[in-house]
Amino acid sequence: MLFIVVLAVCGTLLFFGRNQPVTLSRWPGHGTSDRPVPTIGAVAVPAADPALLHIVVDDGLYSNERGELDAGVRRAYAYASARFGGTLNAPVTVAIVQDSGCALSGIAYTDVRTLQVQTCNSVASGRAIAILAHEYIHQLQHDRYGSRHLSADVILSEGMATWAAGEYWLGDHADFRSYVHAQRDRGVFYPLATHYAGRSIGEMNALYYQWASFVEFLMSVYGREMFDQVYITGAGDPGSAAYAGVYGKDLTTLEQEWIAWLGA
């Protein structure tokens, strides 16, 4: 697939193999309302807050754990929004959809406020919820930054969506700083402005975690206000944001500071 910047919607498409751990194998892309949102032959999960999250699940999917699924979907939103530091501006539809090939994937159609996770009964529902935590952030980004989100530097948009999903993606690590430090110790490390086009799943994984760690660095060292300023300056490609204009330092300089901050 190609990463396409569209004017209608920004999202992320994440693919997980059937037997892979939840924190691996994501594929970046965009959903667009220029094509139909997939039909959902779904039944509603009982909703504690239908005004905010409308949760629909395909017939026969996780049918014996609907209550737990509902609670997990709502907890993921509460957690992700708290880490992000904002709430949804309007209701969203959360669609948990049966995938005939038993792949696990997620996409955010942020302009039509639909977040979709494709999964199957052989995949633990918790893994589907982990993907949803990432997708929630894309909708929150849309609601916070408006149309400028659609052209955000992918380092910042995907980095923040991964960072704010926090515990759902970190495994045994306390933060993305330690995760990427360990990743670097294994010899896995790429320049931040590396584009994922043509990269393997493993390489894209590494980039997503690096970007999350870089976002963690920017916000902890320079603060959220400056991060918000740089977020709205991008042109889609990694490295396209106006880092020098906001931080007084270009991406190369910030990257060296980040590497030192990692303790690598």
Q: Using one digit for the tens of pLDDT, what is the confidence trace for 200-235?
A: 888 988 999 999 999 999 999 999 999 999 999 999
How far is the C-alpha of 242 from the C-alpha of 222, rounded, in Å? Answer: 15
Q: Using one digit for the tens of pLDDT, what is the confidence trace for 130-159?
A: 999 999 999 999 999 999 999 999 999 999
Q: What are phi and psi of 60, to 5 degrees?
A: 85, -5
CATH top class, domain 14-146: alpha beta
**pLDDT exceeds 60 at position 11:** no
Q: What local confidence, expressed as pLDDT, does residue 177 receive? A: 97
Give percent of the chain with pLDDT exceeding 70: 81
Which residues are CB-neighbours of 213 under 8 A, at least 6 positions away?
159, 163, 176, 177, 179, 180, 258, 262
Q: What are phi and psi of 104, to 5 degrees?
A: -120, 120
**pLDDT exceeds 70 at position 51:** yes
**pLDDT exceeds 50 at position 2:** no
Which residues are CB-neighbours of 181 under 8 A, at least 6 positions away?
262, 263, 264
Query: What is the domain partition of the chain in residue ranges?
Result: 14-146, 152-262
Q: What local confidence, expressed as pLDDT, does residue 120 receive? A: 96
The better pLDDT of the pair 117, 14 is held by 117
**What does DSSP assign to residue 158?**
H
Q: What's the token pair of residue 176?
A: 């993305």
The better pLDDT of the pair 123, 7 is held by 123
pTM of the predicted model as reported, rounded to 2 decimal places: 0.84
Contact (CB, 8 A) for 71 and 79: no
Contact (CB, 8 A) for 120 and 19: no
**pLDDT exceeds 70 at position 7:** no
Contact (CB, 8 A) for 140 and 88: yes
- Hey, is 219 helix, strand or coil? helix
Q: Using one digit for the tens of pLDDT, what is the confidence trace for 152-207?
A: 999 999 999 999 999 999 989 999 999 999 999 999 999 999 998 888 888 988 99
Contact (CB, 8 A) for 22 and 146: no
For residue 18, CA distances in Å to 4, 13, 93, 100, 199 come to 26, 16, 25, 12, 20
Q: What local confidence, expressed as pLDDT, does residue 264 receive? A: 61
